[in-house]
Structure 1
Amino acid sequence: MRSLKFLNKQAARIYITLFTGLAITAISCDRDLLDKKPLDSLTDDAVFSDANFLQSYVYNVYNGMKPIWLPGTGGFEPLTDVAVSQPETHDRSAGIRQYLEGNLSADNITDLTNVWNDEYGYIRKANVFFENIENSAIDATVLDPMKGEMHFLRAWMYFELTKTFGGVPIITSSFKLDDENFDVPRNTYDECTKFIMDECDLAADLLKTTSPTPGKISKAAAMALKARVLLYMASPLNNPSNDVAKWQAAEVATKAVIDLNYTLHPTHDDLFTRPLKSDEIILGKSHTAGTRIPDWGFNYDYWPSGFDARQRIMPTQTFVNMFQMTNGQYPYMPDGVTVNPASGYDPQDPHKNRDPRFYSDIIYPGAGPFTINDGAKSTLRTYEYWEDANPNPDNAAPYVNPNKVDPKNGQELYDFGRDSKTYWVKGKTPFHWRVQTGYTFRRLLDFTGPRASFDHDYNQAITFLRIAEFYLNYAEIQIALGNEAVAREYINKVRKRPSVNMPDITSSGTDLVREYRNERAIELHLEDHRFFDLMRWKAAPSNIDIPIRGLTSVKMDWSSAQPGDLLGKMTFNYGVIEAAEVRKPWAGDFYYLLPIPREEIKRSHDAISQNPGY
């Protein structure tokens, strides 16, 4: 949708795009039926009178659930303390730099507010659905679950709009071609959230008899979305008076989700791979070669050597420091610079004895070896982000890895890079030094396939709703209600995942709040939570407007390496990354909501009011 007016004047004929990306194992399409008539010539009657075509229409509207990688292919994460982006390679990222520089406006926001255009486009499709099935002859046992899915989807799309802009126009009907009045004002935030929760209730009731199927909307998903909305309603941004009743409503809804039959998946490494882990994931999505993210997928954009010099986003040192030591201590004091003497952390051996999730989620100098499927050079490789301690352009002895040849296949152990910086300068490995902080994300990568292929069927999966989030949501609610022991219990549930098994937290007061928010950042990163968490907590200052820190240099000395050593001696230096973006001081509280694109206000003849401050 380019605008409400544009969408509402679309022709009535419906064109269907099959939603092929869902990981739905229990549903098949009747190919003979679908092949009888071209999909692009279907009339309204053909679509809405046939259960198979109608289900395909519903699956198309699943695409209205904003993917976690938008905007761009790094999502909102680069607007936080967790990640930094390469703006010139972060597709659809217009507005990110402006936000961080404090000069975002209704005229330059562009990509950051594609959510307005995209969600209203799919909302219209949902409205068309409800109008056309009002007198449907399709059996209720078949039709009701589709209605439930569509009520959920309309609720989801309005939630995306409200968490981004606050109150928005509630549109529940599609305008006809001869309608001229498209000037619909904004509803209040409270009106919008009531509408969303009512939609969730309708969805839960209509889906109550359907069996959960991986990738498909269920009663549990409707309950979970309602609980999340209630948490947002109770949060400081939307609850300035700290109305306890709002926290209590969130408590009841969240506990209802917890009491369903979901548990933490025992292992963390494979949580974001298909098939969807239905023990933990309430609603998720896996991908085929034709439905994954733009270009070549997560491998292309997050690959540790910045394939094609397109490294999208990188973890910051601030985020890396959030991962505790295995003894439960933070490596650094809260200032992020002073080493915590109780931790046992050694800045020159920084990756030793860290929270096991660190190794699942972060790729750091010397990480691996990983099994890399990369054509002729397939081999075990470590992630090399360093320069020679005594560099020379040819990497000649004695400053060369004595074990650089893989004895299994005779291939050289490089291309994550030998001596990254030297080879960058020489032009032999021109990708590594786009990784400004020295770290890359490991979550969502697939090392079982090639780094980038349009044809390979990668195994990544993304989650929209999973039970770990609701354990953490419940902990936050209990902190707000003054029940710290219960809050610690639910935070520790997440930390006690069998493959993680971190020590229990025992803190209270402001320290408990810090530990909770730290735990949430680690557990839910790259899942489209951190930015909106900071917004609803009104916690942007000192979390968004910060210098980007990372590894300013890493040097490797091979001179004392022995046969069998994968690494020589590394020396690490830390500091502010001068080449990274410069974040300006927090612009002010009006930045907790994004501006509505000015073109939308003009098209409404000023019926839509702008958010304050813009």
Structure 2
Amino acid sequence: MKYFHKNRFMKRTLSVSFIAMMATATSCNVLDKKPLDAISDEAVFNDPVFLQNYVYNVYNGIKPPWAPGTGGLDALTDIAVNQPETHERSAGIRNYLEGNLTADNVNDLASVAKELATPIPLWDYEYSYIRKANVFFENIESSTIAAETLDPMKGEVHFLRAWMYFELMRTFGGVPIIKNSFQLNAESFDVARNTFDECAQFVLAELEEASTLLDGEPVNTGKISKAAVLAFKARVLLFLASPLNNPNNDIAKWKAAETATKAIFDLGFTLHPQYAELFKKPLKTDETIFGKSFTPATRIPGWGYNYDFWPAGFDAQQRLVPTQNFVNMFQMANGQYPYAADGVTVNAASGYDPQKPEKNRDPRFYDAVIYPGAGPLNIIDGSKSTQRLYEYWEDANPNPDNAPPYINPNKVDPKNGQNLFDFGRDSKTYWVKGLTPFHWRVQTGYTFKKTDDFAGPRASFDNDYNQVVVFMRLTEFYLNYAEIEIALGNEAVAREYINKVRKRASVNMPDIKSTGAALVRDYRNERAIELHLEDTRFFDLMRWKAAPGNVDIAIRGLTKVTMDWTGTKPGDALGKMTYTYGVIPEAEVRKPWKGDYYYLFPIPNTEIRKSNGVLKQNPGY
């Protein structure tokens, strides 16, 4: 392993990296102290404002939920499907789902894109920020900053280093634990992997240190707090107790996770009454334990979540769409599933009507899924702002040669008498005729709603969108606790905590009363709908070793939706809609599950070569 002498390293690199970093500094006086291109390591590590900004830069090592692409890895699961024309990691997604993931192509999937730059392999990305953390610890040894100021920063960096190692562990398994700064351009890194258990112990030790250093520190929104440290420790312990990492079902691991998770409930967090508000500004600190907000200067990359999830049409990307499997996960308001376990047979006891699929569903359905006819939604496109429905249908009685009318005949512009066209698939005939510009298809007929900001424009570099990122919130730990109690045989306690989530004021679903395998299904279903697009579903399926039947599935959705305007009158927004369900022929074909080795990604071959073969590959690759 080749290491840098810290002073030589700092002199060469800090002046460059700090120019960008300090652009967001909060004190004008700080910027006046010294030209930014002359900041030395001595100045940085002996000035509390400079050093805090250095720490804030290390926060960027937390992989965002839009990496490796919008929706994290949800496109590898049963709840979402990648749209290949628009998803930036489409090739990597296809390789994984077709069973063709290799050490040579893994970086097509396991990568992080920053703005519009070339994606950075996840391995490189995390180790680059681990290096920043190591530089911090090497240089604060001689810092003159007072302990009461320096210690909280040390706590933050211990937490961040633990987070970054955990990201690598859950993706690749055991990885090299490196505590020194190192040269990123080195020709070789001849260092072996640590075992998974060694990595786990290192992460937990980092969190113990962070907890001590942050004890008694005031909580500031968006900053790492002791509560965030305790919550992350509980998450890690659940991961270690799960079947993938606990093949002998060591009960002691479940008990450790139980103790750590239960401690979260004493921190004063509560469920925010409105589910949909959790992902809008400001951060809902009653429930959110750790999250991030944005300004136009620090916005989500590209044009933000709107551009990625906005209902298709008018140049929206529409990179990821819900599957029928996901839609079917939402129970009816009476607590019954709309379909039997096969996802095709209607559950007669539910009262579900496939021709009225939006009726009487779990209230979270309306906050999560945009379905044909959904609305009205406030849509701002350029200078236009109006209330619109989501139109995804074709005419039941199209005219010969695709002649008009092929839209809602009851909607006309009062100013000029012309027909008004909404967003989405403004009827298949209208789309096929080529009258909708920049139109991406919606493979399944549904789009995601959870992260959209309909109060802002579809795409803008300047708009202050109301979206936030939630890294950890109380709901996750209620659900984690339920999982732990199921594993420990305490089903009544598990139901209690699942039902706490279902009793949120804006949800208020009936209590579940199931036991055994049915309880496990209810729990996992609840987790999927509650935490979708929060970068959890893929890693849940992996740690449960539950990929078969959940990853290697045919993609189902709406294969056809027709609208019959017969008998409608002026003012009617909808005619009679008819739905046809089935496998989406345009969607990727997912191959049978490859086997247990596929629960981890391969180490990139570039890293194996850099180590001169010292770094050993995961079995199976």
| TM-score bracket for this pair, using the shorter chain length | over 0.9
Is the CA contact 1:301–1:307 (under 8 Å) kept in the aligned structure 2? no
Distance 1:6 1:17 in 2: 25
Residue 435 of structure 1: CA displacement?
0.6
Paired with 2:414 and 2:26, the residues of 1 have a C-alpha distance of 49
Aligned partner of 1:82 in structure 2 is 79
- Residues 71 and 93 in structure 1, CA contact (< 8 A), matched pair in contact too: no
1:440 matched to which residue of 2?
447
Aligned residue in 2 for 1:230:
237
2:311 and 2:424 in contact (8 A); partners too: no
Match of 1:584 among 578, 587, 591: 591
Q: 1:136 aligns with which of 134, 138, 143?
A: 143
Deviation at 1:368, TM superposition (A): 0.4
Distance in 2, matches of 1:179 and 1:296, equals 35
Alignment of 1:524-539 (within 5 A): 524-539=531-546
Q: Distance in 2 between matches of 1:94 and 1:140?
A: 49
- Superposed CA offset, 1:362-397 (max 9, x none): 000000011112233311100001111112377645
Partner Cα distance (2:185, 2:554) in 1? 54
Q: Is the 8 A contact 1:148 1:204 kept in 2?
A: yes
Please report how far the alpha carbon of residue 431 of structure 1 lies from its aligned counterpart in structure 2 after TM superposition: 5.1
- Report the alpha carbon displacement of residue 176 of structure 1 after superposing the two structures with TM: 7.0
Q: 1:385 to 1:466 in 2, by over 3 A?
A: same
Equivalent residue, structure 1, for 2:435: 428
Q: Distance between the aligned counterparts of 1:391 and 1:269, measured in 2?
A: 38
Q: Equivalent residues in 2 for 1:45-84 (5 A)? A: 45-84=42-81
CA distance, structure 2, for counterparts of residue 511 and residue 361 of structure 1:
24
Shift of 1:573: 0.2
Q: Which letter does structure 1 place at the counterpart of 2:507?
A: V
Q: Does 1:151 align with 2:158?
A: yes
1:16 corresponds to 2:13: no
Deviations 1:301-326 (A, max 9, x none): 11112552622000000000000000
| Equivalent in the alignment of 2:274 | 267
Q: 1:30 aligns with which of 5, 27, 39?
A: 27
The range that moved more, 497-506 or 107-116, is: 107-116
Structure 1 length normalisation: TM-score?
Answer: 0.94
Q: Contact 2:389/2:422 (CA < 8 Å) preserved in 1? A: no
User: How many angstroms does 1:8 deviate by?
Assistant: 10
- What's the secondary structure of 2:383's corresponding residue? helix
Asked if the contact 2:283–2:293 (Cα under 8 Å) also holds between the matched residues in 1, the reply is yes
Q: What is the CA–CA distance in structure 1 between the aligned matches of 2:74 and 2:188, rounded to whole Å?
A: 38
One of 575, 581, 603 as aligned partner of 1:596? 603
Match of 2:210 in 1: 203
Q: Distance in 1 between matches of 2:279 and 2:74?
A: 18
Q: Distance in 2 between matches of 1:278 and 1:488?
A: 26
Deviation sequence 1:189-227 (CA, Å, 0-9, x none): 111011101111111111112111111100000001110
Q: Does the Cα contact within 8 Å between 1:86 and 1:313 map onto a contact in 2?
A: yes
Report if aligned partners of 2:243, 2:544 keep a CA contact under 8 Å in 1. Answer: yes
Which residue of structure 2 aligns with residue 98 of structure 1?
A: 95
Is the 1:307–1:431 Cα contact (8 Å) retained in structure 2? Answer: yes
Specify whether residues 89 and 400 from structure 1 end up closer, same or farther in structure 2 by C-alpha distance, changes over 3 A only: closer
What is the SS of the residue equivalent to 2:539?
Answer: helix
Matches of 1:421 and 1:35, distance apart in 2: 60
Question: Displacement of 1:168 after TM fit?
Answer: 0.4
User: Aligned partners of 1:274, 1:246: CA distance in 2, in Å?
Assistant: 37
In the other structure, the counterpart of 1:25 is: none
Once the two structures are TM-superposed, the CA of residue 413 in structure 1 deviates from its matched residue by 4.4
Maintained 8 Å contact 2:92/2:106: yes
| Cα distance between partner residues in 2 of 1:177 and 1:570 | 58
User: Is residue 2:343 matched to residue 1:346?
Assistant: no
The farther-off stretch of 5-14 and 601-610 is 5-14
1:39-438 pair list within 5 angstroms: 39-113=36-110, 114-175=121-182, 182-308=189-315, 310-392=317-399, 396-397=404-405, 400-405=407-412, 413-417=420-424, 419-430=426-437, 434-438=441-445
Q: How far has the Cα of 1:282 moved from its partner? A: 0.4
Which residue type is aligned with residue 51 of structure 1?
Answer: P
Q: 1:458 aligns with which of 449, 460, 465?
A: 465
- Distance in 2 (alpha carbons) for counterparts of 1:354 and 1:21: 47
* Distance of 1:164 and 1:198 partners within structure 2: 20
Query: Is the alpha carbon distance of 1:21 and 1:554 closer, same or farther for their aligned partners in structure 2, counting shifts above 3 Å?
Result: farther
Aligned length: 605
- Identity across the alignment (%): 69
Q: Cα deviation per residue 1:536-581 (whole Å; 9 max; x = unaligned)?
A: 0000000000000000010011122233321111000000000110
TM-score using structure 2 length: 0.93
Inter-partner Cα distance in structure 1 for 2:339 and 2:505: 26
Unmatched segments (≥5 aa) in structure 1: 23-27
Q: 1:427: Cα distance to partner?
A: 1.1
8 A Cα contact 2:71 2:535, kept in partner: no
Q: In the alignment, which of 581, 606, 609 is matched to residue 613 of structure 2?
A: 606
1:92 positional shift: 3.7
8 Å CA contact 2:71, 2:534 repeated in 1? no
Root-mean-square deviation (CA), in Å?
A: 2.3
Deviations 1:564-611, CA, capped at 9 Å, x for gaps: 321111000000000110000001110000000001011011111100
| 8 Å CA contact retained: 1:58, 1:146 | yes
Question: For each residue in 1:141-162, what CA deviation from the matched residue of structure 2 results, as whole angstroms up to 9, or x when unmatched?
Answer: 1111111110000000001000
| Aligned amino acid, residue 67 of structure 2 | L
Aligned partners of 1:300 and 1:554: how far apart in 2? 25
Distance in 2 (CA, whole Å) between partners of 1:359 and 1:315 is 13
CA distance in 2, matches of 1:384, 1:512: 37
Separation in 2 of the partners of 1:172 and 1:329? 52
1:129–1:433 Cα change, 3 Å: closer
Alignment pair present for 1:555 and 2:587: no
